[in-house]
Amino acid sequence: MGLAHSPSIITQNLVLCLDAGNIKSYPGSGTTWTDVIGGDNGTLTNGPTYSNGNIVFDGIDDYVSSVSNLTLGGSFSISLWLKHSNTNVTQERYITLGSDRIIIQEDTNSNLNVYVTDGTQQNLWVWGRNNNGQLGVNNTTIRSTPVTTILGETNWKSVSCREGNTAAIKTDGTLWTWGLNSNGQLGVNNTASRLTPVTTILGGTNWKSVACGGYHIVAIKTDGTLWNWGSNLFGQLGVNDITSRSTPVTTILGGTNWKSVAGGLYHTAAIKTDGTLWNWGFNSYGQLGVNDTPTRSTPVTTILGGTNWKSVSCREGNTAAIKTDGTLWTWGRNDRGQLGVNDNIARSTPVTTILGGTNWKSVSCGGYHTSAIKTDGTLWLWGFNNNGQLGVNNTIFRSTPVTTILGGTNWKSVDCGGGNTAAIKTDGTLWTWGYNFYGSLGVNNTTYRSTPVTTILGGTNWKSVSGGSFHTSAIKTDGTFINDDSVSTTISNSAYTNIVATSNGTTLKLYQNSNLLSTTTLNGTLSSTDVSYTISDVLDGFAGNIANIVIYNKELTSSEVQQNFNALRGRFGI
C-alpha cells in the first residue's frame, strides 16, 4: 500500500516509512517492504521490537511517538507529508539524530520553520513560588509555567532547590546561588536575599555537586572537599558549634574523599569514597541513625556502620539511603508513614522498607513522603498524600510503597518536593504531581494533581529535576542552533504539503513540493548514527496532520526529491 507499491519511490537507502497509520521498514537491501504494525485512522498500538533494523516504537496520542535505533551516517533525508494543524499555538516536530536534532516548528500563522540543533545546550528552567526570588528572574512574581533564570546561558550542569532558594553548578565548574538568604545560605558573606544568581564568595571553578538543605547549603568540590554554609542552629554544618555561616566552611571532619551529600531541613548526610555514611545536625526524630535522639554538631556514622553505602537523601526529619547491594534503608521521622515500614513509629536506627528487595536504584525524601526507583524502572512512593503527591489518584496516605497510577517500567530519576513529586522517564519526558498552590507543577494553573502530568513546556529532553518546598527547577538539553538561520515556508490549512529536509552532514537543503527553498551551511557537523522521529505532546490532534514520513540514509538529489513528491501525490490522489 502507499509508497510501498509506488514504482517511482527511491527504494535504495530507504530506512523507514510511516504511511497513513502504517509503519513499514526497509532493512537496507532489496525492494520488499515489511509491515511492522498498523491501525485504523492512524491509531497505533504498542508494537514489538523489530529485530531486522532494530526498530523500537510505541503508539501515543493516536500516532507514532518515536522510532529509534535506525543506522544512519552523516547524510540523511527526511520527507514529511503534512498540513497546518489549524491551532493557535506554536508546535514542533522533532527528528532526532543521536544528539543532533532537526526541529520542524509550526507557528500560529501557518509558517513552518526548519532548523538544526547539536544538542549541547543545557538550559535551566524554574517555576513555582518566587517570594524570595528563588526563580532567579529578577522579581518575585510567581510562575506556574517554566521560565529560564535572568542569567540565561546554556551551560548548566546540575541544580538543587529547597525551602526558598536555589543553587546550581555550570559546566565550567562555577557555583551559583539565589533566593532566600536570611541565614547566609547563599554563601556571599551577608544575609541579603538575591533575585538573580550570584556566585559564592569562595568562587572557584571546581565545584562538583551541590545540595540545598532547609536553610543551609552543602557542596563538594572536585578535590573531594566538603563545604557547608547557612543556618547552623542544630549543628547541620558539622563544624562543632551552632553558629551560622554566610561563607562556605569545611566540616570539622575535613578530608578530601567526600563523594556525595544531601541536605535535610536541619540535618545533613554524606557518603565518602570509602563507602561510609556520615550524618550530623538535628536528631529529635532519630534521623541521624545513631540509636538515640541528641543533636550532633560533628559528623557521625550510623549505628549500622558499613562501607557499602551508595547514595543518600534526607529532608524534613528522615533519611533514606541505598547500599551497593541494592537494599534500601530508611530512618527518622515516620508520623506519615514516610519510612515505608507499614506503621507510623519513628526509627533511630536504619530499617529496610516492608517491600524489601535488592534492586533499588535511587531514592528521594520529600516533606513527609518518599519515592524510589528500582533497577527495573518502576517508581514507588509512600508516606503523606494529602496533596496527591503519591500519584495514585487519591489523597490517602500510604505507609507501604505503592506505584503511581501511571505505572510503567521506564522511570529514570525522581525528586520529591515539600508536597509534590517530579520525575523523569527514560524517554526524556518530565512528569509532576501533588501540591500546586504556587504553580510548582508547571502546568499553567494552580490546580493540585493526584496523578502525574507533564509540564506545559513538554519536551523529551529533560535531564534532571529538583523539587523545592514550593518551587521546582530542572535542566533540559535544548540544543544550540548550528545553522545560521531557520528556514521558513508557509503550509496550508486545507491541503497537504511535502516538506523534504536533506543533508550531506555539512549543509541542509529544504524543499517544498520538490521546489528547492534554500541551502544552509551548518555551523557544526551532523555525525550521529541513530535517528528517531518524535512528536512533541503539546496539544492533542497535532500529530493527526502528518500523513506520511519517509527517512532515507542518504542525501537525495533534486530528481530523487521529485520522485518522492510524485509518489506522494499518487498515494494521496493529488
DSSP string, 489-519: EE--SSS-EEEEEEESSSEEEEEETTEEEEE
Cα–Cα dist 566/570, whole Å:
6
In this predicted structure, the answer to whether residue 388 has a pLDDT above a threshold of 70 is yes
Which residues have CB under 8 Å from 374's CB, separation 6+?
Answer: 357, 359, 360, 361, 380
In this predicted structure, the answer to whether residue 101 has a pLDDT above a threshold of 90 is no
For residue 481, the model assigns a pLDDT of 40
Identify the helix (H) or strand (E) that includes residue 560.
helix 558-572
Query: Hey, what amino acid is at 21?
Result: G
In this predicted structure, the answer to whether residue 76 has a pLDDT above a threshold of 90 is no
CA distance readout (Å), 340 to 285, 346, 347, 380: 15, 11, 11, 10
Confidence of residue 115 (pLDDT cuts 50, 70, 90): low
CA distance readout (Å), 219 to 175, 200, 319, 454: 9, 11, 18, 30
Q: Kindly state the percentage of the chain with pLDDT values over 70.
A: 70
For residue 189, the model assigns a pLDDT of 97
| Dihedral (Cα; 125, 222, 214, 393), 10-degree rounding | 50
Say if residues 550 and 26 touch (Cβ distance below 8 Å): no
For residue 566, the model assigns a pLDDT of 81
Beta bridge partners of 453: 432
Cα–Cα dist 418/437, whole Å:
12
For residue 511, the model assigns a pLDDT of 86
Q: Which residue has the cell 548548566?
A: 156
Specify the CATH architecture of the domain 123-476: 7 Propeller (2.130)
For 361-373, what is each residue's pLDDT tens digit?
999 999 999 999 9
For residue 569, the model assigns a pLDDT of 75
For residue 15, the model assigns a pLDDT of 47
462: closest CA among 477, 473, 452, 472?
Answer: 477
For 125-157, what is each residue's pLDDT tens digit?
999 999 999 999 999 999 999 998 878 777 788
The DSSP annotation for 31-75 comes to S--EEEEE-GGG-------BTTTTBEEEEETTEEEEEE-EE--S-
CA distance readout (Å), 525 to 72, 75, 100, 521: 14, 10, 9, 10
What's the pTM?
0.69
Least confident of 300-314, 344-358, 430-444, 542-556: 542-556
Which residues have CB under 8 Å from 209's CB, separation 6+?
Answer: 158, 169, 219, 220, 260, 261
Least confident of 134-138, 201-205, 213-217, 345-349: 201-205
CA distance readout (Å), 541 to 87, 172, 314, 499: 9, 42, 42, 20
Give backbone dihedrals phi and psi of 171, rounded to 5 degrees, phi first. -65, -15
Confidence of residue 60 (pLDDT cuts 50, 70, 90): very low
Q: What is the mean pLDDT of residues 360-388?
A: 97
For residue 574, the model assigns a pLDDT of 59
For residue 288, the model assigns a pLDDT of 98
Say if residues 554 and 76 touch (Cβ distance below 8 Å): yes
Specify the CATH architecture of the domain 2-120+480-572: Sandwich (2.60)
Highest mean pLDDT: which range of 29-38, 113-122, 365-374: 365-374
Q: What is the mean pLDDT of residues 12-36?
A: 39
Say if residues 321 and 313 touch (Cβ distance below 8 Å): yes
Compute the mean pLDDT over every residue in the chain, rounded to the nearest whole number.
Answer: 79
For residue 41, the model assigns a pLDDT of 29
Which residues have CB under 8 Å from 510's CB, separation 6+?
Answer: 114, 487, 489, 499, 500, 501, 516, 517, 518, 520
For residue 187, the model assigns a pLDDT of 97
Confidence of residue 490 (pLDDT cuts 50, 70, 90): low
Q: What is the mean pLDDT of residues 64-68?
A: 38
For 530-564, what is each residue's pLDDT tens digit?
444 443 322 223 334 556 666 666 788 898 888 87
Q: Radius of gyration over alpha carbons of the chain, in Å?
A: 26
For 496-505, what is each residue's pLDDT tens digit?
778 787 878 7
Question: Mapped to the 3 state alphabet, what secondary structure does 292-317 carry?
Answer: CCCCEEEEEECCCCCCCEEEEEECCC
Cα–Cα dist 346/327, whole Å:
20
Confidence of residue 124 (pLDDT cuts 50, 70, 90): very high
Query: Hey, what amino acid is at 24?
Result: K
Domain limits, the chain:
2-120+480-572, 123-476
